[in-house]
């Protein structure tokens, strides 16, 4: 039998690892016989040499079996989740989960926190007074059964191998490896006890996948490995060259998601929510085609059933349900500071990465795991791509605490707006829904 060190060398040299060898490595890392520095070396070898599809599937299953798997089979109906690869202004889960649940498909969702320039669903939910994302499995199961949707963080017992390996990847520059991303995402999602999964793979400046080609490669790998695991899986590629919606920041994004639940909200956010939600309803067997799914979701917005389910979910998770009718109960920053245009023209682009990094610098996000975030601060966009603007017109509003100095933030956010001459003609915009797999 080859030693564990031999397995690192095997992958370093571009050779394929067997399912048994991958299972040995994951088990040895769990019991400490395969040290962190050795796992880091293996991740770097995978980063450069890649993995075959059987290897990726084996790694996913080994990481999945490193912890417990939630059994939801005794809960009636289909259980379908959604996963986003991360973006700026992406508050879709907050409105999507209650809308889909209101349409008859249960949504058990294990979400993450923001890291780097991307926001996290858990941070947004925790801007709701009292809301708890740290629930045990029995409570999670009960809420999924009784309410229809529950959003929590990863527990220590779900795919613990992923948590340990991701911590190493994060500090060894091996995050951007498609096989490792696939195994990380699916090991957690398969542990939820779901029947189906819809993936929102973001593409563009504010996403981890900058090109449509790399995003399509990731999406295809996720779909193939998920289907091989016996799940119904589909993926959408969606644009993240500009922020999604009008807001970036935890409480203000939560407020915007509530607007969507109540039949309002910005057009792009509504469109992505409907596209993902319709696909979830198809996978869950509630409708036969996406068009019918979108109709059902729009009805749940119009009749208030999605908003009412969100209230029930908030209350079940210890939060203040009145925020749905009274969003003013969410945390608010003391100051609103305008960012004004220095020149006239047409908004040719809004750099999602710069907006995301600016929000992090203001305190809305984190640069390291465990760092606290301020739920009240953030950036509100006052114009969209293609809008004509005048000198001095508001481009954005900064939601700041009293003690903050707005000037550096104002300069950075202004620089995220590309203003073209009015005679340059309309900017060519990337489609919001780029592809479906």
Q: Where are the alpha helices (DSSP H) in 88-238?
A: 92-102, 121-125, 137-146, 160-171, 178-190, 212-228
Residue 59 within any structural domain of the chain: no
Question: Of 289, 312, 327, which one is at a domain's C-terminal end?
Answer: 327
Strands of the sheet containing 247-248, edge to edge, are: 247-248, 378-381, 394-400, 335-340
Domain containing residue 287: CATH number: 3.40.1030.10
pLDDT of residue 408: 86
Looking at the structure, tell me whether residues 310 and 338 fall in a common domain.
no
Residue 56 within any structural domain of the chain: no
Give the distance, in angstroms, between the CA of residue 291 and the centroid of all CA atoms in the same chain: 24
64-98 tens-digit pLDDT: 999 989 999 999 999 999 999 889 999 999 999 99
Q: Is the dihedral of CA 185, 187, 188, 192 positive or negative?
A: positive
Cα 184 from Cα 178, distance rounded (Å): 10
Would you name the residues annotated as active-site residues? 83, 162, 169, 184, 188
313-337 tens-digit pLDDT: 999 999 999 999 999 999 999 999 9
Looking at the structure, tell me whether residues 231 and 380 fall in a common domain.
no
Whether residue 121 contacts residue 325, with contact meaning beta carbons closer than 8 Å, is answered with no
pTM metric for this prediction: 0.92
Whether residue 350 contacts residue 243, with contact meaning beta carbons closer than 8 Å, is answered with yes
Looking at the structure, tell me whether residues 93 and 17 fall in a common domain.
no
In this prediction, the residues of the chain whose per-residue pLDDT falls under 50 are: none
56 Ramachandran zone, left/alpha/beta (phi>0; psi -120 to 50): alpha
Residue 203 within any structural domain of the chain: yes
Residue 23 within any structural domain of the chain: yes
Residue 263 within any structural domain of the chain: yes
Question: Of 269, 298, 327, which one is at a domain's C-terminal end?
Answer: 327
Residue 436 within any structural domain of the chain: no
Cα 388 from Cα 352, distance rounded (Å): 19
Identify the three-state secondary structure at position 379: strand
pLDDT of residue 424: 59
Strands of the sheet containing 388-389, edge to edge, are: 388-389, 345-350, 417-420
* Residue reference for tokens 């707005």: 406
Looking at the structure, tell me whether residues 201 and 253 fall in a common domain.
yes
In sequence order, the 6+-apart residues with CB closer than 8 A to the CB of 230 are none
How many structural domains compose the chain? 3
In sequence order, the 6+-apart residues with CB closer than 8 A to the CB of 104 are 77, 281, 284, 286
Residue 372 within any structural domain of the chain: yes
pLDDT of residue 90: 94
Looking at the structure, tell me whether residues 38 and 94 fall in a common domain.
no
Looking at the structure, tell me whether residues 120 and 265 fall in a common domain.
yes
Domain containing residue 349: CATH number: 3.90.1170.30
pLDDT of residue 324: 97
Looking at the structure, tell me whether residues 28 and 93 fall in a common domain.
no
Looking at the structure, tell me whether residues 127 and 178 fall in a common domain.
yes
The domain containing residue 349 runs over which residues? Answer: 332-424
Looking at the structure, tell me whether residues 31 and 111 fall in a common domain.
no
Looking at the structure, tell me whether residues 351 and 291 fall in a common domain.
no
Looking at the structure, tell me whether residues 138 and 255 fall in a common domain.
yes
């Amino acid at each position: 039998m080859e030693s564990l060190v031999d397995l690192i060398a095997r992958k370093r040299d571009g050779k394929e690892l067997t399912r048994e060898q991958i299972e040995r490595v994951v088990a040895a890392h769990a019991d400490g016989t395969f040290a962190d520095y050795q796992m880091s070396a293996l991740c770097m070898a995978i980063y450069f040499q890649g993995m075959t599809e059987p290897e990726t599937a084996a790694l996913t299953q080994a990481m999945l079996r490193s912890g417990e798997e939630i059994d939801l089979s005794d809960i009636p109906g289909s259980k379908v989740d959604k996963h986003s690869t991360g973006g700026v202004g992406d508050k879709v889960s907050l409105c999507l989960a209650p809308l889909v649940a209101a349409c008859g498909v249960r949504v058990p969702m294990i979400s993450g926190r923001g890291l780097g320039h991307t926001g996290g669903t858990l941070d947004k939910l925790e801007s709701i007074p009292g809301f708890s994302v740290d629930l045990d499995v029995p409570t999670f199961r009960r809420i999924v059964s009784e309410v229809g949707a529950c959003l929590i963080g990863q527990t220590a017992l779900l795919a613990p191998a992923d948590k340990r390996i991701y911590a190493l990847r994060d500090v060894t520059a091996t995050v951007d490896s498609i096989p490792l991303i696939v195994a990380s995402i699916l090991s957690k999602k398969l542990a939820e006890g779901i029947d189906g999964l819809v993936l929102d793979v973001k593409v563009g400046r504010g996403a981890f996948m900058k090109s449509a080609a790399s995003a399509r490669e990731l999406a295809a790998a996720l779909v193939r490995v998920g289907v091989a695991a016996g799940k119904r899986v589909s993926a959408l590629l969606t644009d993240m060259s500009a922020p999604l919606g009008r807001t970036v920041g935890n409480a203000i994004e939560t407020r915007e998601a509530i607007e969507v639940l109540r039949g309002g909200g910005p057009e792009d956010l509504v469109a992505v929510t409907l596209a993902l939600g319709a696909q979830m309803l198809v996978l869950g067997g509630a409708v036969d085609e996406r068009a019918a799914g979108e109709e059902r979701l729009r009805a749940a917005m119009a009749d208030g059933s999605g908003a009412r389910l969100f209230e029930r979910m908030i209350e079940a998770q210890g939060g203040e349900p009145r925020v749905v009718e009274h969003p003013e109960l969410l945390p608010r920053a003391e100051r609103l500071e305008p960012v004004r245009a220095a020149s006239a023209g047409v908004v040719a682009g809004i750099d999602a990465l710069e907006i995301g990094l600016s929000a992090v610098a203001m305190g809305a996000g984190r640069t390291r795991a465990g760092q606290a975030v301020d739920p009240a601060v953030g950036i509100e966009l006052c114009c969209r791509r293609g809008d004509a603007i005048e000198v001095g017109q508001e481009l954005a509003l900064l939601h700041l605490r009293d003690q903050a100095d707005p000037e550096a933030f104002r300069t950075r956010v202004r620089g995220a707006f590309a203003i073209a001459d009015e005679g340059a003609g309309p900017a060519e915009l990337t489609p919001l829904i780029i592809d479906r797999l």
